[in-house]
Chain A
């Protein structure tokens, strides 16, 4: 139990240090841009293909139930609400946790094991600001963008699936999908994606940066990054949904 509190405290302090360092000059724009490329662009194919596939599958599942009630016209709306509010942010975050979280954890742990982090400090540079902060900031920026891609790919997948069955026009599908949609359906989940990005960046960098156990530590850092950040994303999702319903009552409708 004490170890759990130790861990929570250490991660909390690490996260606070990230926030404090992110607002201190130099701002490391070059590194942030590079990591947005690593985090965002290289995850794009994974997010797009997953979004399309999920869109198709979700429509296939919901169609069967809605046909029984004669409510097939609700399919586009269900699809868009499902993706914008929950599936998009959550699945994009879990995919990025698997791909980027493991990468950050392994790369930083390897740099620690091979004394590269010590070498950065020996050269009078702030290794935390140079290695950790840009990775976390890149995750925070990239995840809402990837979530948006996931949302639109999910709707596109849903449309393709629905078109193959009912030959619905794109115009009609989109009209039904976005009918009655409000900013409260779109903004809070995007903010949720920011929090998920922070969790992925902070947890993966924490395990990578603080390990000091050689080759075995590299593997453990990668695994722990994925497991803990995925778990925290799901737990945070529960709390954030409650908070969103409190702050944006319209989104609960």
Chain B
């Protein structure tokens, strides 16, 4: 494994029952680099993130986080490595019985020896970063979709992780709000030099955030490189996903008639 790599997937495969979700996938992410994972729905993009965080175990292959092979870790060792990573879930996944403040305070109280004042300081700082400082006593159901995403990001940042895993940051959001979330992620990437894996369908956001793209199709990695490299890729699915080419029978018909 290269000393520069934060994350490395080595020939990873995963299936659920008969369905092969990932098939021999390998790629790596360097420190300060953002990789965007593109692909059609159901091609194993979110599963990739969960494998990196060891929420799922691969059937074959290895996943390295720095010098640690996370698939082999358990208990305190796994916990130590996970604390290097922040995960922004697609839905935000805030604990719905806790206020926004307590959502952030819970892991800090349980996993660190920080004083109450220090914890309050961290909460104020990260909520300030996502512009939710005035909403910390609100319950998750009182927050809009965009606010929940930002709150989820704030919670992912409480341990100041050097790796960020982001699942569909812009899904269900309008273009302006999605762009604000992208700004926050860009800030993390530039300021903290976090390594990121971003699963997205939003090509506009992907082009802003991603240094390189991973393109998955039917569980296989069909393209890996910079957006410019992939625009002229031999694989049609890669070209369509990276180039944002609209196609299908209707678009073909419109194209031929114009």
CB distance from A3 to the nearest CB of B (A): 15
Which of A119-127, A133-141, A177-185, A214-222 forms contacts with chain B? A119-127
With A114-B96, A116-B96 as known contacts, state yes or no: A122 contacts B91, CB within 8 Å: no
Choice from A114, A115, A118, A123 contacting B107 with Cβ under 8 Å: A123
Q: Which residues of B contact A118 (CB under 8 A)?
A: 50, 55, 87, 89, 93
Besides A119-B155, A122-B87, 9 new A-B residue pairs in contact (Cβ under 8 A), listed by A number: A115-B90, A121-B82, A123-B107, A124-B80, A124-B111, A124-B159, A125-B79, A125-B107, A126-B79
Q: Please name 6 pairs of A and B residues whose Cβ atoms are closer than 8 Å in the assembled complex, sorted by A.
A: A119-B87, A123-B82, A123-B155, A124-B82, A124-B111, A125-B79
Q: Which residues of B contact A26 (CB under 8 A)?
A: 110
Q: Are B91 and A115 in contact (CB under 8 A)?
A: yes
Mark out the residues of chain A between 32 and 56 whose CB falls within 8 Å of any chain B CB in the assembled complex. none
Q: Are B55 and A114 in contact (CB under 8 A)?
A: no
Report A's interface with B, CB cutoff 8 A: 26, 114-116, 118-126
Q: Which residues of A contact B55 (CB under 8 A)?
A: 118, 121-122
CA distance in complex: A114, B152 (Å): 13
CA distance in complex: A26, B109 (Å): 13
With A114-B91, A115-B91 as known contacts, state yes or no: A122 contacts B96, CB within 8 Å: no
With A114-B91, A119-B87 as known contacts, state yes or no: A124 contacts B96, CB within 8 Å: no
CB distance from A113 to the nearest CB of B (A): 10
CA distance in complex: A26, B110 (Å): 10
CB distance from B113 to the nearest CB of A (A): 13
Residue in A123, A124, A126 with the greatest tally of chain B CB atoms within 10 Å: A123
Contact with A along B1-25 (1 / 0, CB 8 A): 0000000000000000000000000
Closest to A130 in B: B110
CB distance from B30 to the nearest CB of A (A): 22
With A121-B55, A124-B83 as known contacts, state yes or no: A116 contacts B95, CB within 8 Å: yes
Residue in A26, A124, A125 with the greatest tally of chain B CB atoms within 10 Å: A124
Q: Are B95 and A124 in contact (CB under 8 A)?
A: no
Q: Are A122 and B95 in contact (CB under 8 A)?
A: no
B153 within 8 A of A: no
Q: Are B111 and A122 in contact (CB under 8 A)?
A: no
Contact with A along B54-92 (1 / 0, CB 8 A): 010000000000000000000000011011011101110
Q: Are B155 and A115 in contact (CB under 8 A)?
A: no
Q: Which residues of A contact B156 (CB under 8 A)?
A: 122
Q: Which residues of A contact B107 (CB under 8 A)?
A: 123-125
CA distance in complex: A119, B97 (Å): 14
Nearest 6 pairs of A and B residues by beta carbon: A119-B93, A122-B87, A115-B93, A123-B107, A124-B79, A124-B82
CA distance in complex: A115, B156 (Å): 14
Q: Which residues of A contact B90 (CB under 8 A)?
A: 115
CA distance in complex: A122, B86 (Å): 7
Q: Which residues of A contact B79 (CB under 8 A)?
A: 124-126
